[in-house]
Amino acid sequence: MNELELIASLTRSLPGNAFIVVGAGDDCAVLDCGQPGRFLLFKTDAVVEGVHFTPEAAPEQIGHKALGRCLSDIAAMGGRPLAALVTLALPDNFSPVFVGRIYTGLNALAQRHDVAIAGGETTRNPERLLLSISMVGEVAREKCILRSGAKAGDALFVTGELGGSLAGRHLEFSPRLAEAQWLTAHFSIHAMIDVSDGLAGDLRHILRLSEVGAELLARAIPVSRAAKLRARGESSSKPPLLAALGDGEDFELLFSVSSGDAVALLDAWNKQFPDLRLSCIGRITEERGLKLRDATGIHSLESHGYIHFA
Amino acid sequence: MNELELIASLTRSLPGNAFIVVGAGDDCAVLDCGQPGRFLLFKTDAVVEGVHFTPEAAPEQIGHKALGRCLSDIAAMGGRPLAALVTLALPDNFSPVFVGRIYTGLNALAQRHDVAIAGGETTRNPERLLLSISMVGEVAREKCILRSGAKAGDALFVTGELGGSLAGRHLEFSPRLAEAQWLTAHFSIHAMIDVSDGLAGDLRHILRLSEVGAELLARAIPVSRAAKLRARGESSSKPPLLAALGDGEDFELLFSVSSGDAVALLDAWNKQFPDLRLSCIGRITEERGLKLRDATGIHSLESHGYIHFA
């Protein structure tokens, strides 16, 4: 049983109650706690030394990344973050200065987005640092965007550029909160997710929950400079397009809107966010499965992330 | 710098915002998210293999303990739990059956208290299991009990029996949610905390935040059977009273009320909860410091948990 199968089996029978609007399976859990016109968003995310960052990462970057991952998930619901708790599991050889610098990075990002750090705890984890963030946020009920709302015919968009994030961007990315709030305020966004597992993997979450398929245009996928440089520099590295499809940790927004809104959205976006690329990368199809169209034809994208040239 | 000093230095300058009613330093963070008449409670707590449980603990007990600790903190605010997220950091040799049994224990306790498990995540922590729970709850604004409300002259009460929890009870305790809700519904509780660090340590949190002192009556402190047995069995073990004062992980409620309410409260309690002992263990004093009165006189309780026989 791999991790995904384990999660699937565990989440099939979780206890619910009347407060849950959306439980496990979206970017955040959604609760109805009686706030007039609003839902509560609830999220947790952890980073582990040697898994999500190397010992070379600056402590400020570790704090930034841990908080930023949760903020990115709040953004993907169209939400606004309110407060976070910090769980810091420290190795036996921890240095207070190092821990202080983690908080410096974390607090700076929190202040930029007006998120309160409402406490948390420290505990021991003898061999390695683990930093887990819990976050609550809120969203207007009619502006809460799920993964499950994509419709056949929708245009698919992604912000920024994808691939090669592990070269450095994964420690310094900007969660797309303002962008997501602007999108939901001005357009009817059908489905949204943040790109953390990789474009193909995260798109598959939308497709599965929306019960649709998609066709991506290879030349429209925005490949990051880091992915291109890496492909050029190392003979063994993967082609840049595959990096953009599969690398993960981009923390960009992937969303779908009615095709009729696509041109107006692109126009308005370019005026509002001239420094952040927005790409229309394909469309939602009634036919299930994920396909990639390039100059040589249409190819199936297998679920392990590699292209199957049929 | 020890852990407490580290936490103190980190929490002095955490970012806040307009939603925070109480930040770091109480049993839960308290947020005003606009729920009419209610506050949101927010808490996180982790258990780590080899720190909070031994490899011999049954996985159901590990799940029970992790969730129960958060529930106990919600209880200590007078609150009602709504939903939890589960962060499961798994060692490389994890068994899916073991993980399933953790959820069996966790889900059973969640259902008993109508708490939804709204998702969470699994990640790697190669050497040992770490299980962190995030929880949101709610409380009526005028019934939210802080650590900071104790007043000179108050009577001090504690539920249950204390000490020796590590002999087994720490894995199977019942969080005192119904009891705390009954207390706040029927009496004006001034200050409350759950006993997790040990009676003396947790009382000191109340005293520091309420800017008062306390005098405990040695013969009134309810010592658990486990603490007595342990003291009898091992020549090296500590006297039962010291175990009750310092052991921790009892997850009972410690609270103060006006001395004028004390007798009525004890009477009503014994009718409502005939199977759970409630003890009046002393009083809050204007004079700062924590003192213990026994047959030989009044002694200072030093902050390291041992009695200073002056």
Contact B117 A23 (CB under 8 A): yes
Instruction: Report the residue of chain A nearest B22, measured CA to CA.
Output: A118
Q: Give which of A130, A131, A197 to mutate to test B binding, by max B Cβ within 10 Å.
A: A130
Contact B278, B156 (CB under 8 A): no
The two structure tokens encoding residue B6: 């580290």
How much is the pLDDT for A12? 82
| Residue % of chain B over a pLDDT of 90 | 85
Contact A121 B45 (CB under 8 A): yes
Type and span of the H or E element at A210: helix A199-210
Q: For residue B120, list its beta bridge partners.
A: B86
Provide the Cα torsion A250, A256, A262, A265; round to 10°: -60
Closest CA of chain B from A295, distance in Å: 39
B44 interaction partners in chain A (CB closer than 8 Å):
44, 85, 87, 120-121, 132, 134
β-strand pairing of A29-31 with A38-48? antiparallel
How much is the pLDDT for A236? 63
Contact A136 B43 (CB under 8 A): no
Instruction: Pick B100's closest partner by Cβ from A10, A99, A138.
Output: A10
Coil, strand or helix: which one is B62? helix
Closest CA of chain B from A246, distance in Å: 19
Contact B123 A51 (CB under 8 A): yes
3-state helix, strand, coil in chain B (%, to 5): 35, 30, 35
How much is the pLDDT for A70? 98
Q: How many CB pairs under 8 A join A and B?
A: 213
Chain mean position to CA B175: 9
ipTM exceeding the 0.85 mark:
yes
| Residue % of chain A over a pLDDT of 90 | 85
Position B309 pLDDT exceeds 50: no
Instruction: Report the residue of chain B nearest A9, measured CA to CA.
Output: B100
B66 touching chain A per CB within 8 A: no
B16 touching chain A per CB within 8 A: yes
From residue B11, alpha-carbon distances to A46, B35, B223 in Å are 20, 27, 34
Contact B121 A96 (CB under 8 A): no
A93 touching chain B per CB within 8 A: no
How much is the pLDDT for B240? 92
B129 contacts: CB under 8 Å, gap ≥ 6: B48, B49, B62, B88, B89, B90, B91, B94
B136 interaction partners in chain A (CB closer than 8 Å):
31, 33, 40, 42, 136
Contact B33 A35 (CB under 8 A): yes
- pLDDT (tens digit, 9 = 90+) per residue, B288-300? 999 999 999 999 9
Instruction: Pick B33's closest partner by Cβ from A6, A50, A138.
Output: A138
The two structure tokens encoding residue A119: 């406490």
- pLDDT (tens digit, 9 = 90+) per residue, B9-59? 888 889 999 999 999 999 999 999 999 999 999 999 999 999 999 989 999
Type and span of the H or E element at A228: helix A225-233
- pLDDT (tens digit, 9 = 90+) per residue, B237-294? 678 999 999 999 999 999 999 999 999 999 999 999 999 999 999 999 999 999 999 9
Across chain B, mean pLDDT equals: 93
Position B306 pLDDT exceeds 60: no
Q: Tens digit of pLDDT per residue, chain A (310 long)?
A: 676 677 778 888 899 999 999 999 999 999 999 999 999 999 999 999 999 999 899 999 999 999 999 999 999 999 999 999 999 999 998 888 999 999 999 999 999 999 999 998 999 999 999 999 999 999 999 999 999 999 999 999 999 999 989 889 999 999 999 999 999 999 999 999 999 999 999 999 999 999 999 999 999 999 999 999 888 876 666 789 999 999 999 999 999 999 999 999 999 999 999 999 999 999 999 999 999 999 999 999 876 544 444 3
How far is it, in rounded angstroms, from Cα B67 to Cα B44?
10
Closest CA of chain B from A15, distance in Å: 5
From residue A295, alpha-carbon distances to A200, A203, A292 in Å are 19, 22, 10
